[in-house]
């Protein structure tokens, strides 16, 4: 872990294996976001002509696709257009606007125990007696299966693994504490879109049969959801990553409390969201198609602040579920907490 960009792949792998639990540095970095940005070519922050730099334009295009698809749902052309929109909506994290806002707050508060939005670890005193059972190999299998199959919808509907709010928080309620009043209208739009999705799925199911719908929609959806949870969980969960409380937290150290993973050929399949996540957290508005180039530039500058682990993902999730059960502070600082598993 913490290998700099000048290390070879073999050296990087060896360092990872020999220091899996080596803690990441928590002192203030010797660089700023401004100095990091100056090192990256300006074109890395540019969007292509087909990818609008305006978030409003992007959102309006999505709404227009929804209207077009729902208007022409009765014919083949409409079904095809609507299906493409559904695929985009689902893959980008339905409900679109709701998750857009909560994910933005996650980027604003990464690794803050009080304000981060997702994968917020529990303190030891919050564990229930069931955790000792779940730490057995069968229990761990149940955890992994549950997380991959049900984790995404449970987070959206019940804020599972999310930030603590004074009242029930979910991604479908326009008045949920996750959102502010200016965002409520767009949450409602997301809900309307999901109703359209449900009606469209019903139409496709009655037209082509339930089995066909499960094959072309249900199974791919489960796979997408599973990889979404797997990738994001492993990006934010490792024994070397700190979490912060109160005034100890600051944005840059929080953004650096993430880890890049190596998924082999799947790095290309997932457009490198797997092995460029550190750069994504530092520059979250950078187009994904420039993230690999930016990561290569950032690694030697970040040095020990750059976290990388090439453990195969199927081994990594088993290990992190075993080692990263709760967080606790050590004697050096009460505001910096680390993962532990001693029940």
181 burial level (CB within 10 Å; 0-12, 13-18, 19+): exposed
- pLDDT number for residue 92: 39
Q: In 190-261, at which residue ranges do the beta strands (DSSP E only) sit?
A: 243-244, 260-261
Please say whether the beta carbons of 215 and 204 come within 8 A: no
- pLDDT number for residue 83: 53
The whole-angstrom separation of Cα 323 and Cα 281 is 24
Backbone angles phi, psi at 33, to 5 degrees: -60, -35
The whole-angstrom separation of Cα 196 and Cα 114 is 36
Q: What angle do CA 338, 324, 288 make, to 5 degrees?
A: 90
Is residue 336 helix, strand or coil?
Answer: strand
| Paired residues of 261 in beta bridges | 309
- pLDDT number for residue 103: 94
Please say whether the beta carbons of 260 and 307 come within 8 A: yes
Please say whether the beta carbons of 29 and 253 come within 8 A: yes
Encoded tokens for 5: 């960009």
Dihedral over Cα of 147, 148, 152, 154: its sign = negative
The whole-angstrom separation of Cα 110 and Cα 121 is 12
Question: Residue 205's closest CA among 194, 216, 196?
Answer: 216
Encoded tokens for 84: 């493409």
- pLDDT number for residue 165: 95
Instruction: Give the pLDDT of the chain (343 residues) as one tens digit per residue.
Output: 544 444 444 444 434 443 346 899 999 999 999 999 999 999 998 865 444 445 555 555 555 554 444 444 444 444 554 455 555 454 434 688 898 899 999 999 999 999 999 999 999 988 888 888 888 999 999 999 999 999 999 999 999 999 999 999 999 999 999 999 999 999 998 888 788 778 888 888 899 898 988 888 888 888 988 999 999 999 999 999 999 998 899 999 999 999 999 999 999 999 999 999 999 999 998 988 899 999 999 999 999 999 999 999 999 999 999 999 999 998 778 899 999 988 7
Q: In 174-309, at which residue ranges do the beta strands (DSSP E only) sit?
A: 243-244, 260-261, 308-309
Q: Are strands 308-309 and 260-261 parallel, antiparallel or unpaired?
A: parallel
- pLDDT number for residue 58: 56
- pLDDT number for residue 264: 94
Question: Residue 283's closest CA among 96, 1, 42?
Answer: 42
Question: Residue 2's closest CA among 310, 309, 324?
Answer: 309
pTM of the model: 0.83
């Amino acid at each position: 872990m913490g290998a700099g960009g000048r290390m070879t792949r073999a050296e990087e792998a060896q360092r990872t294996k020999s220091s899996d639990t080596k803690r990441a540095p928590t002192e203030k970095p010797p660089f700023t976001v401004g100095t990091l940005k100056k090192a990256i070519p300006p074109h890395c922050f540019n969007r292509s002509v087909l990818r609008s730099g305006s978030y409003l334009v992007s959102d309006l295009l999505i709404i227009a696709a929804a209207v077009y698809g729902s208007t022409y749902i009765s014919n083949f052309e409409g079904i095809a257009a609507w299906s493409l929109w559904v695929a985009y909506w689902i893959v980008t994290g339905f409900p679109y606007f709701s998750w857009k806002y909560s994910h933005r707050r996650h980027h604003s508060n990464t690794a803050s125990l009080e304000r981060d939005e997702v994968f917020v670890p529990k303190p030891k005193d919050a564990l229930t007696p069931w955790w000792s059972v779940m730490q057995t190999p069968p229990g761990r299998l149940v955890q992994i299966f549950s997380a991959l199959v049900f984790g995404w919808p449970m987070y959206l509907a019940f804020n599972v693994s999310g930030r603590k709010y004074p009242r029930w928080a979910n991604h479908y309620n326009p008045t949920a504490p996750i959102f502010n009043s200016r965002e409520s209208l767009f949450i409602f739009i997301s809900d309307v879109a999901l109703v359209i999705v449900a009606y469209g799925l019903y139409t496709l199911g009655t037209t082509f049969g339930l089995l066909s719908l499960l094959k072309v929609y249900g199974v791919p959806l489960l796979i997408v959801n599973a990889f979404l949870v797997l990738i994001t969980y492993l990006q934010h969960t490792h024994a070397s990553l700190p979490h912060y409380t109160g005034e100890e937290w600051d944005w840059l150290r929080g953004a650096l409390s993430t880890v890049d993973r190596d998924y082999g050929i799947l790095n290309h399949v997932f457009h490198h969201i797997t092995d460029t996540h550190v750069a994504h957290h530092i520059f979250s508005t950078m187009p994904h198609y420039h993230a690999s180039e930016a990561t290569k530039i950032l690694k030697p500058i970040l040095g020990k602040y750059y976290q990388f682990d090439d453990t195969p993902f199927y081994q990594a999730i088993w290990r992190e579920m075993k080692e990263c059960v709760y967080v606790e502070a050590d004697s050096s600082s009460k505001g910096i907490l680390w993962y532990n598993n001693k029940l």
